Structure 1
């Protein structure tokens, strides 16, 4: 994360193991190249042979390797080239960039298992110099910070921005208001402030001051840019504090410039012998004022409060339980009424009256319905069902009837034909008048069968 403090390891650190032909360059000649600022602590290690490599052991969860981008394209061959490995696993290659720049990420890995790891970088070149500057990694919580340098991001929670400061994109904070203050509490022995000079804002130089632990303010210059400059200059060290005794200190910075001058910006700070903040200082913590209560009185008061709290908790818990039980009973009653309403036979009556008709034992047929009209259905079964003598789909001239009620009625009819016997059908069929049929003799007679006399066969002597 951008607001987490990372350990910075310079190329001169004795824990870095170099193999092959390396040269320590502290001339500062590279500081003038590009617009990404000078090299870190004015030193780099360079190599121009293919037998060069270095390795570094660390405990952490992410790592970046920084150097100076110094690419040449020799007939389509990019040189120098390099390969970075974490625990013998190759990291993704960075896309080549044709211009020289310091403070360039050579390779990175931000998703490592928390624990010990081994970094290895192998260099391949045909004469073009490869430049290695420093390493940054996010350490494990068990790593000692003694004699370490930390990179403190501008979003660090310990930084207190006063009125007049504002975000400058996602890379920095800035102010152009005279008198604007910033405070930063830290533990360490030295601190360096870094920012950049934006070409989009006024180029005129301005000043600001810093002080440590309420000491006399020291003025530092914000150089700005030339009037014809079109490039933003990054990674500028605006000031470095004197060496301090190891312990807690407070930095205060005040901007003295105006809106017509170059702003004061902050991207990050390098903190030597720093620590991780245990509690963000920008979190407001209000403490109760002391009183004359003795320790014994405090204990008795706490005990009394605990008893009252327990009683209130029991009462509220009982009320909540009663409400829950009541709600469940109401819900169960509504569910039972709902089920009874669904299973209870319903009769629908219209202006033409209700009729009970016998249903012939033929299969149930579903026909396609023209809109606004209901075609008579027949239902199979030994009993008849209730049906209506008129159309039950509404005509366009009768908007008071709604289609959802019809769908409900159709479902009810299907259920009734299977599960219930129509008592109305019995009363209706028994109340009809009987029909008398008188049969007459036509005079025709069906003749009976003719008598047959059976005689045994005749036999002759042989």
Structure 2
């Protein structure tokens, strides 16, 4: 198993943390989803896009060692864009001039972590027939930053995922198993988990198989493991998504099925964890008495102490007087001499 990779944070185009300029030129890209949702890279994240027809920009602040911008494209032409980190322009990636989704258009690695967050700005221009379709931002998580209410991506090679001996590496893509009954488990904190897979091109995996998953050792829910029905490899496909879970720690358990008629292997590319906002921790408050009450207690204590001291002095003096009287000489009474 390889060493743990940096976990990623996905920031969807709908996030309020992204600030859009020229909002009149930006619009929801729902009408483009049908064209981009069945490409080899799967559909847009969360099935949403932000479409730009005209000139516009957006910016986002983050703390992490790497960042990339993901977009979708329709038609044969391309819109234009330029990405900046802290005002410095990045080299745009070469992208195919065909309909595609989940395409990385720019990125930067080895970002120096500073005391203040880095700023990502994207300037873009599109048209009705060649819109700029923004999907998401993804950046590597800096371990020193506590992430609440974030979407965390856990790579299949993460060393916190526990596989049994039936699993093996599928190149650089992820982990796979064709062994009936083989399983894996993963402990996570969040409110929802999504299993994202890849369908590999393999002539021997032409029939669907099955698997099951459970949360917190509960009911095992079946899900289908799809076989390859295309001549190209398919990425970013969802195998299953849990319902909304109670906030807190959970355990995922997955077992490859015993359907002997199926040949498709179970493949994990990555897991997507929807985190939650933790309530702020508060130290227990200690009730304080008013200053007047404190002063009253002090004065009362002093008066009581004075009374006790005076009482003790009187008792001591009284005992001394009694002792002195008992020691005083008294002449014997012999009478007056008369009989």
Same fold (TM over 0.5): yes
Please state whether the residue corresponding to 2:207 is helix, strand or coil. Answer: coil
Return the index of the structure with the highest Cα Rg: 1
Following superposition, the deviation at residue 258 of structure 1 comes to 5.1
Q: 1:212 aligns with which of 199, 210, 215?
A: 215
Please state whether the residue corresponding to 2:64 is helix, strand or coil. Answer: strand
The 1:44–1:9 alpha-carbon spacing in structure 2 relative to 1, beyond 3 Å, is: same
Q: 1:48 aligns with which of 47, 53, 59?
A: 53
Note the alpha carbon deviations across 1:258-305, whole angstroms, 9 max, x for none: 595111100101011179xxxxxxxxxxxxxxxxxxxxxxxxxxxxxx
The 1:216–1:33 alpha-carbon spacing in structure 2 relative to 1, beyond 3 Å, is: closer
Runs of 4+ in 1 over 4 A off after TM superposition: 257-260
Check conservation: 1:84, 1:119, Cα contact below 8 A.
yes
RMSD (Å) for aligned C-alpha atoms:
2.0
Please state whether the residue corresponding to 1:30 is helix, strand or coil. Answer: helix
Please state whether the residue corresponding to 1:72 is helix, strand or coil. Answer: coil
Tell me the number of residue pairs that the alignment of Structure 1 and Structure 2 aligns: 267
Which one is further off, 150-159 or 133-142?
133-142
Q: Which residue of 2 aligns with 1:89?
A: 88
In 2: Cα distance, 1:65 partner to 1:109 partner: 10
Please state whether the residue corresponding to 2:63 is helix, strand or coil. Answer: strand
**TM-score, normalized by length of structure 2?**
0.74
Please state whether the residue corresponding to 2:66 is helix, strand or coil. Answer: strand
Check conservation: 1:86, 1:119, Cα contact below 8 A.
yes
Q: Which residue of 1 aligns with 2:239?
A: 238
Unaligned runs of 5+ in 2: 278-339
Q: Which residue of 2 aligns with 1:157?
A: 159
**TM-score, normalized by length of structure 1?**
0.55
Structure 1 residues 22-421: aligned runs within 5 Å: 22-27=26-31, 28-49=33-54, 51-70=55-74, 72-73=76-77, 79-115=78-114, 116-127=117-128, 128-200=130-202, 201-226=204-229, 229-256=230-257, 257=259, 261-273=263-275
Please state whether the residue corresponding to 1:215 is helix, strand or coil. Answer: coil
Following superposition, the deviation at residue 199 of structure 1 comes to 2.0
The 1:149–1:250 alpha-carbon spacing in structure 2 relative to 1, beyond 3 Å, is: same
Following superposition, the deviation at residue 26 of structure 1 comes to 3.3
Unaligned runs of 5+ in 1: 74-78, 276-462
The 1:32–1:150 alpha-carbon spacing in structure 2 relative to 1, beyond 3 Å, is: closer
In 1: Cα distance, 2:222 partner to 2:42 partner: 22
The 1:11–1:126 alpha-carbon spacing in structure 2 relative to 1, beyond 3 Å, is: closer
In 2: Cα distance, 1:85 partner to 1:97 partner: 22
The 1:179–1:31 alpha-carbon spacing in structure 2 relative to 1, beyond 3 Å, is: farther
